Amino acid sequence: MILYWIIGYLAGSLPFGLWVTRLVKNIDIRDGGSGHVGATNTIRQAGFTAGAAVLLLDILKGFLPVYFSLRAGFPAWSVAIVAGFAVTGHCYPLFANFRGGMGLAVAGGAMLAVYPLTFLIVLALLIFLVLIIRHSARAALFTGLLAPILLWLLHFRGTELWVMATAGLVVAFRFTIDWNRKYRELWLDRDTEQA
């Protein structure tokens, strides 16, 4: 069981945003944009196609460890730890000097592995909060905290709730560093200074 937790962290630590951006543009993604190793910053620096590839790969980093831990028959709390370690690996990757991304795609992949409907519910919550708050980092932080409550209220109280609670806490903690950050918001066309 502990082996799966370690595999979750190692899978999350694969810095696809860093590798793809180096391959496409020969630059370090951490030196521009938000400085984060994820799909959004890859789009900023290497284009939509590269960003879409990173998004898919990051989703798989969360999906595969959780999927295989479910197939192994682990209890809900252990599957949640696998998910939490995968998201932590993405945020603090062993293979990129612990300078990674924010964990949303990896958390989404974990939710997809458990129950796709809950992934769609959480995604809808994130989009709603982004449109209301108009600051994606703050919206993501609140999503990480509120999504488990929403799932509980909707009577999702199995493994999906454990996974969302664990992954959501990691995501919320990670996004605290961007609470006051102003950078180009791809989704909102914010007229703010890019950091």
* pLDDT score for 37: 94
Confidence class of residue 192 from pLDDT cuts 50, 70 and 90? very low
The count of structural domains within the chain is: 1
Confidence class of residue 34 from pLDDT cuts 50, 70 and 90? confident
* pLDDT score for 194: 36
* pLDDT score for 180: 83
Confidence class of residue 184 from pLDDT cuts 50, 70 and 90? low
pLDDT (mean) for 51-75:
97
Q: Is 189 within the bounds of a domain?
A: no
* pLDDT score for 138: 93
Distance of CA 117 to the CA centre of its chain: 17
Q: Is 161 within the bounds of a domain?
A: yes
pLDDT tens track for 82-114: 999 999 999 999 999 999 999 999 999 999 999
First to last CA, the chain: 41
pLDDT (mean) for 184-192:
47
pLDDT tens track for 159-172: 999 999 999 999 99
Q: Is 185 within the bounds of a domain?
A: no
User: Half-sphere exposure of 184 toward its Cβ, with a 13 Å CA cutoff?
Assistant: 11
What average pLDDT is seen over the chain? 92
pLDDT (mean) for 29-49:
91
Q: Is 183 within the bounds of a domain?
A: no
Q: Is 195 within the bounds of a domain?
A: no
Our CA angle for 143, 30, 137, nearest 5°, is: 20
* pLDDT score for 188: 46
Q: Is 39 within the bounds of a domain?
A: yes
pLDDT tops 80 at residue 14: yes
Phi and psi at residue 28, to the nearest 5°: -90, 115
Count the neighbouring beta carbons within 10 Å of the beta carbon of residue 164. Answer: 31
pLDDT tens track for 120-144: 999 999 999 999 998 889 999 999 9
- Listed in sequence order, the residues at least 6 apart from 136 whose beta carbon sits closer than 8 Å to its beta carbon are 130, 185, 187, 188
pLDDT tens track for 70-80: 999 999 999 99
Structural domain harbouring 61: 2-178
Q: Is 91 within the bounds of a domain?
A: yes
Q: Is 92 within the bounds of a domain?
A: yes
